[in-house]
Amino acid sequence: MERYGFIHEKLDIKILILFVLNELPAPVDELTLSDLVFCDDGIGYFDYSDCLAELTESGQITEQNHKYQITDLGRQNVEAVGSSIPYSVRSKALKLTAPLAAKMRRAALITAEHTMDDDGLCTVHLSVSDGVSPFLELRLLASNEQTAETMENAFRADAEAIYHKIVNVLTESEDSK
């Protein structure tokens, strides 16, 4: 069966896999990676699977906990030959990876976790960083683990707005109260 698209050769598939992984700031699961790589109709699943395994064996990507990430060797290789991917495929791959990459970068700046003490109470640790240091750190007491997880999820979903609300409350003048 003839496949349509620009990418057919295994070398091109490998370069595309490396190109996609190079755009992502964190490891990604195989399903997400395949969704991003299959941006060209010329790629077959079995060739893709073979290429993924070969890239892992050659040390250009690592696989840990069923998530894949590019290595320095893979990054060097894709920087040297990434421009050989047809422009339309690169553009489509960039368009698909950009929202995920932004989401990953945001998630890396937000910490939301909890610890349990001997009494069964949870201390929830929340922080937002600018990439260099935290600009908001909170420790809150939660009555149970479910409440702690609810607080963590709410913070992850809307950390920036929570920060602004706290700043607004703390900087309101006495006259406006």
Q: What is the CATH number of domain 10-104?
A: 1.10.10
Partners of residue 56 on adjacent β-strands: none
Q: Are 52 and 30 spatial neighbours (Cβ–Cβ below 8 Å)?
A: yes
Site of tokens 């320095």: 72
Task: Return the exposure string of 21-53: e unless at least 16 CB atoms fall within 10 Å of the residue's CB, then b.
Answer: bbbbeebbeeebbbebbbbbebbbeebbeebbe
Domain ranges of the chain: 10-104, 117-176
pLDDT tens, residue order, the chain (177 aa)? 556 778 879 999 999 999 999 999 999 999 999 999 998 888 888 999 999 999 999 999 999 999 999 999 999 999 999 999 989 889 999 999 999 999 999 999 999 999 998 877 899 999 999 989 999 999 999 989 999 999 999 999 999 999 999 999 999 876 565
Position 2 scores a pLDDT of 57
